[in-house]
């Protein structure tokens, strides 16, 4: 069934719910757990119009993503798992699918929060929707309201 489960974790309420669901699945299927946090690349901070690259901003973002990853790893470890984790840099869907292929995972788990307004949904886009289209394996989208 699922021997390698990859959780894309961002520390949000939806991400934490996905972490809990991921634990249940891993226990049931005796899976290896992998946890990743995806940080936008430095070019995302600069923007399309150009600008000045801010090394301090990138360092703050890196520390934030490392803290999110460590939180998730600690939660899984305290629940009795031996997860592996990494912070990746780039566009979320691309990085998640590349990592899923790299570890030959069977299931990708992501959290998703329903947005109230159509404008918010349109503006934000859907990482989970794009991931379903591009992932090399099954995708479990854990939804919070």
What are 59-115's pLDDT values in tens digits?
Answer: 888 899 999 999 999 988 998 999 999 999 999 899 999 999 999 999 999 887 765
pTM for the model stands at: 0.81
> Which DSSP state fits 108?
E
CATH code of the domain made up of 4-144: 3.40.50.620
Yes or no: say if 102 and 89 are a contact pair by the CB < 8 Å rule. Answer: no
Contacts of residue 73, defined as CB under 8 A and 6 or more positions apart, other chains included, come to 35, 83, 85
Which two tokens mark 26? 């891993």
């Amino acid at each position: 069934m699922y021997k390698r489960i990859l959780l894309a974790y961002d520390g949000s309420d939806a991400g934490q719910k996905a972490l809990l669901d991921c634990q249940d699945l891993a226990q049931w299927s005796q899976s290896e757990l992998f946890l990743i946090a995806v940080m936008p690349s430095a070019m995302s901070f600069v923007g399309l119009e150009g600008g000045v690259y801010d090394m301090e901003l990138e360092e703050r973002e890196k520390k934030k993503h490392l803290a999110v990853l460590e939180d998730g790893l600690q939660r899984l470890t305290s629940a009795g798992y031996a997860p592996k984790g990494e912070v990746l840099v780039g566009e979320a869907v691309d990085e998640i699918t590349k990592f899923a292929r790299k570890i030959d995972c069977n299931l990708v788990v992501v959290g998703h929060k329903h947005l109230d307004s159509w404008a918010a949904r349109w503006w934000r886009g859907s990482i989970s929707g794009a991931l379903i289209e591009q992932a090399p394996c099954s995708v479990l989208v854990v939804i919070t309201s």
